[in-house]
Structure 1
C-alpha cells in the first residue's frame, strides 16, 4: 500500500467512526477547557502579583515576558495548552482500541484508561512538551532576529501596509526557517510516534518511552514522515475547500442595502452554522485519522490487557452525563441573562478612529471633518511632539506609510511637515493634506464633537502630557476631551496632573484585572470584549470602549454586550447600525449576536458609506 493510500484509508476509517470520534472530541475539549482554566488563571495571577499593578497591558506584558519570571510564566501557559492537546489525542487513541461502536461506551472506556494511567500520562505529556519547546525555541529565536534585521528600520505599519522588498525578504527567510523547523519536528515526532501508545497500552515509564519508540520505529520513520506530510496536506486541503464553499455561499448574501439586513442575517447565520459544524467534524476526523495512522505502526509486546473492559466503567459515563446536564442548566441561565442584555437599550457612543479613517486618509483634517459630518460623538486622534515642540497629530513613528518619507516624527519640524503630503497614498484627491496640529483638530471639533487624544510614545517624548493639557485649557475644552494611552504610566501621569479630566487605559492585550487600573474608561481590542469584562468594568464605575469595529455585525454584537463606545473607521455606518438595532426586537438582536459569535462578517462594499 502506498503512503497516499494509507493516509486516505486512515481518513476513511476515521470518517466511518465519526459517531465515536466527534462526540469524544467535543466532550474532551470542553472538559479540558474547564480543567486547564484554573492553571492558566493561577499563572496569570502570579505574573500580575510580581508587578505593582492589578493588570498588565501591552507594553508591560512585553517587558514582563522578556524578564526571567515572565518568560517562565509564558512557557507555563503555552505548555498547559500543549498538554491539553496531548490529552485529547490520548483519549482519541484510547477510544480507537476499545473496539466499541457505541460512542458512550468507547468514550467511557477511553476516559477510564486515561484515569488509570494518569500519573504516567502526565509525566509523558510534560516530557513531550519540553522536548517540543526545546526543538522550536532556536527556530523562534532565529525568526525573531530576521524580523529585527529586516523590519525595524521604519515603522512596522509601513511594512504591513505596502509590503516593500525587505518585507518579502523577511517572509521568505522566516518561511525557510519555519520549513526547516517543520522538517526537524516531523523527523523527531516520527521517531517518538509510539511513545504515547507505549505509556497507555504497555505501561512503559514515560522516561523510557521516547527511546523505546525510537528503536521500534527504526526503518519505518521514512514512511511515517511521508504519511504525516500527506495527512497534513489533506487536512489543509479539506479545510480550504470548506472555506471556499462557505465563501461562495456568503458571496451571494443579499446585501444591496440596509433594507435587506434582516434577510441577509438569517441566510448568513445558516451558512455560518454549517461552516462551523463542518470545521468541528473535520478537526475530529483529522485527529482520528492521525490516531489510525499511528496505531498502524504499533504492536503490543506485553501480556498486560491493552485496556479496561468498557462495560465495567460506569463512573466516567455518569460524570459525563452529569457534566452535560450541568452545561444545559448553565446554558439556560446564561441564555436568560443574554436575552435580558439584548433587550436593554443601546448606550454605545460612536467614536471616529483617527477621524473617519476608512473614508479619508487617517489623522488628517479631512478625516476629522468627515467624522464630525457623519455624526461621531467623539473623534479619536493620535498625538506626538515634533522637533520644534509642537503637538502634532500622527500615529506612526515616521512618515514612510503616509508619504514614503524616511523622517522620524520627533526629528520633523513644522517646516518639514508643510512639505510632506500625507493624503495621496490614500487617494490623489487628498494631495493637499498635511499633518495637522492638536490645536487645529480641537478648533474644528469645538462645539460639534468631543475628542479622544491618544498619547503616543516612541521613547523621544519631552513633555507631551503637559503640552497637551496646556493646549486643551487654552481652548477651554476640558469637558470635551479625554486622553488615553497604551503606556500605563502615561495614564497615571495624566491623572496626577489633571485628576478631573477623563483618562483611560488602551489595551490590545491584557492579563489580570483591568478594572483595578487608574482611569475613567478602558479601551480594548474588540476580541477581548466579553460579557464578564463588560460587567466588571461597569461594576468598577468605569466605561468600556472597543476598537476597531468596522463590521456591522460586530458593531451590533458589541452594542449587545453593553459597551459604552464603538471606536470605528466608519462612524456613519455605526450610527446606521445603532439606528437599525433600535427598530429591532429581542429575537432579531439575538440573531445578530449569534451571527457574530459564529465569526461572520458582512462588511461588503455595498454596505459602506460612500457619501462625499
Structure 2
C-alpha cells in the first residue's frame, strides 16, 4: 500500500458519520458532525455515506430518504435537484452537504467514502479529482461494481476496501488456511471493513488478522462503541475501529 492515506497513526479511528453525541437532536453526515469528530483528533478519519441527487450529485447521506425540518414527510434524495439542497434544512438546522463541498471545506481531513448509490459514482470521482484528494480518501462500497466504476474514473489511484463478495472470499480463504487463496481474493483492495460478528458467527479472528497482515491488508472493525471491546480488538491486532464514539476510542486506544 503506497498511497499516503495509510501514513497516519494506527490503530485508526474512523468516526462513523462523523461524531454525533446526541443523535436525538443532531444529524450524522453533516458538517457539524465532521467538526465534532475532528475536534477529538485531527487524525480521525471521517466515515461517510454517499447517496445521489436526481442530477447525480454525490451527497453525504446514509439513507435514500430524509426528513426536512418543519414536520414534512420524508422525501427521497433521488427526487431532489442539487440546487435545492441549501433550502432543505434538516431538523437540527443542518443541510445535506455535497461530497465536493466536504472535500473543499476540510482540505486536510481524510474521508472513508461508502458509495451507496450507483448514480453517485461519476460525481464522487469528479469531486475527488477536482479537490486533488486522492491521498486522503478511502473508497468502499458493498458493491464491487460501484467501487470499480468510481476508481476507473479517477486520475490517480486511491485507497480502497473490500465489497461484500470480496470479504466473503477472504473469510473462506482464511477458514481453509490458504494464504495463496487469500492473497488472490484480496488483490483488488487495501482493507477489509467488517463487523466483529455476524449473528452468532465470529468474523474477526486472530487468524483472519494474521492472513490480512501477511497479504499487506488492513482490518477495520465496525461499529464498535464499547471501550473494552475496542481495546480487545486492538490487542488482537486490528488496524482500525469504526465507531460512533471517537472520543471514547481515542482514550481507549491511547491506553491500550
> The TM-score by the shorter chain falls in which range?
0.7 to 0.9
Distance 2:210 2:72 in 1: 44
1:523 counterpart residue number: 193
Closer/same/farther in 2, CA of residues 479 and 512 from structure 1, 3 Å limit: closer
Q: How many residue pairs were aligned? A: 224
2:209 counterpart residue number: 534
Query: Are 2:55 and 1:388 aligned?
Result: yes
Closer/same/farther in 2, CA of residues 378 and 540 from structure 1, 3 Å limit: same
Aligned counterpart in structure 1 of residue 136 of structure 2, from 465, 480, 486 = 480
2:20 counterpart residue number: 357
Check the 8 A contact 2:125/2:151 in 1, yes or no: no
**CA deviation after TM superposition for structure 1 residue 513, in Å:** 2.2
**CA deviation after TM superposition for structure 1 residue 401, in Å:** 9.6
Kindly report which structure 2 residues correspond to 1:525-564, keeping only aligned pairs within 5 A, or say none: 525-527=195-197, 528-564=203-239
1:408 counterpart residue number: 76
Query: Are 2:78 and 1:417 aligned?
Result: no
TM-score, structure 1 as length reference: 0.34
Closer/same/farther in 2, CA of residues 454 and 523 from structure 1, 3 Å limit: same
Distance 2:210 2:20 in 1: 30
1:432 counterpart residue number: 93
Closer/same/farther in 2, CA of residues 455 and 368 from structure 1, 3 Å limit: same
Kindly report which structure 2 residues correspond to 1:571-610, keeping only aligned pairs within 5 A, or say none: 571-581=246-256
Query: Are 2:116 and 1:456 aligned?
Result: yes
Distance 2:131 2:140 in 1: 19
Distance 1:520 1:509 in 2: 11
- The higher relative CO (CA closer than 8 Å, separation ≥ 6) is in 2
Closer/same/farther in 2, CA of residues 381 and 519 from structure 1, 3 Å limit: same
Check the 8 A contact 1:508/1:524 in 2, yes or no: no
**CA deviation after TM superposition for structure 1 residue 490, in Å:** 1.9
Query: Are 2:160 and 1:503 aligned?
Result: yes
TM-score, structure 2 as length reference: 0.78
Q: Hey, which of these two has a bigger chunk of helix by percent?
A: 1
Closer/same/farther in 2, CA of residues 456 and 404 from structure 1, 3 Å limit: farther
**CA deviation after TM superposition for structure 1 residue 523, in Å:** 0.4
Query: Are 2:35 and 1:369 aligned?
Result: yes
Distance 1:451 1:510 in 2: 21
Post-superposition CA distance 1:222-242 (Å, at most 9, x none): xxxxxxxxxxxxxxxxxxxxx
Distance 2:67 2:212 in 1: 38
Larger radius of gyration: 1
**CA deviation after TM superposition for structure 1 residue 404, in Å:** 5.8
**CA deviation after TM superposition for structure 1 residue 418, in Å:** 3.0
1:441 counterpart residue number: 102
**CA deviation after TM superposition for structure 1 residue 507, in Å:** 4.4
- Structure 1 gap segments, 5+ residues each: 1-345, 425-430, 582-612
Kindly report which structure 2 residues correspond to 1:126-165, keeping only aligned pairs within 5 A, or say none: none
Check the 8 A contact 1:507/1:523 in 2, yes or no: no
Distance 2:146 2:234 in 1: 29
**CA deviation after TM superposition for structure 1 residue 495, in Å:** 4.2
- Structure 2 gap segments, 5+ residues each: 1-8, 172-181, 198-202
